[in-house]
Amino acid sequence: MSTIRITKQFKFETGHALYGYDGKCKNVHGHSYKLSVTVSGKPITDSNNVKFGMVIDFGDLKKIVKEEIVDLFDHATVFNQNTPHIELAKELKDRDHHVILVDYQPTSEMMVIDFAQKIKSRLPSNIKLHSIKLSETDTSFAEWFASEN
């Protein structure tokens, strides 16, 4: 049986700030992120299986990505926990805002690395994460490929 890739796309809104950056992105701002998650595997050949012919049910992939990423990051503000933004983060949290503190600079590049680890840890053993594409604008995106990591 052939190995097949399938892709599920997601959208979420997230704010962030890049501490120490020398441009506008040092300011708190947000993006309408688009996330594409591609996995690979062999379609199920057991005709008695309710998921016969599927690599993975799109609904199962959606559940993983929503729980690990979308539901967490949507309408959140992300800050590096090791920067002075920690004071702003505390103030926002005290005002009941959804704040995520990460141990990296919250760039698209670092976010795809984080997302890849989270998704890989939840996939069934017969399904491999092939790639992730995170677009922060229509013309700017970061990609992660298993073959390069």
Contacts of 42 by beta carbon, 8 Å cutoff, 6+ apart: 1, 2, 3, 4, 55, 126
Residues flagged as binding site for Zn(2+): 16, 29, 31
pTM score of the predicted model: 0.93
Active site residues per annotation: 25, 75, 136
What residues form the annotated binding site?
Answer: 16, 29, 31
The pLDDT assigned to 131 comes to 98
Burial (CB count <10 Å: 0-12, 13-18, 19+), residue 80: buried
pLDDT at 85: 81
| pLDDT value of residue 72 | 97
Contact 85, 22 (CB under 8 A): no
Domain architecture of the chain: domains with CATH: 4-145 (3.30.479.10)
pLDDT score of 75: 97
In angstroms, rounded to a whole number, what is the distance separating the alpha carbons of residues 65 and 115? 9
| First CA to last CA distance, the chain | 26
Smallest CA-to-CA distance from 12 within 38, 31, 28 is with 31
Contact (CB, 8 A) for 38 and 5: yes
Tokens found for residue 94: 């005290």
pLDDT tens digit at each of 149 positions of the chain: 699 999 999 999 999 999 888 999 888 899 999 999 999 999 999 999 999 999 999 999 999 999 999 999 999 999 999 988 888 888 888 999 999 999 999 999 999 999 999 999 999 999 999 999 999 999 999 999 999 99
Check residue 144 and give its pLDDT: 98
Own/partner pairs for 42-47, CB < 8 Å, 24+ apart? 42/1, 42/2, 42/3, 42/4, 42/126, 43/1, 43/2, 43/4, 45/1
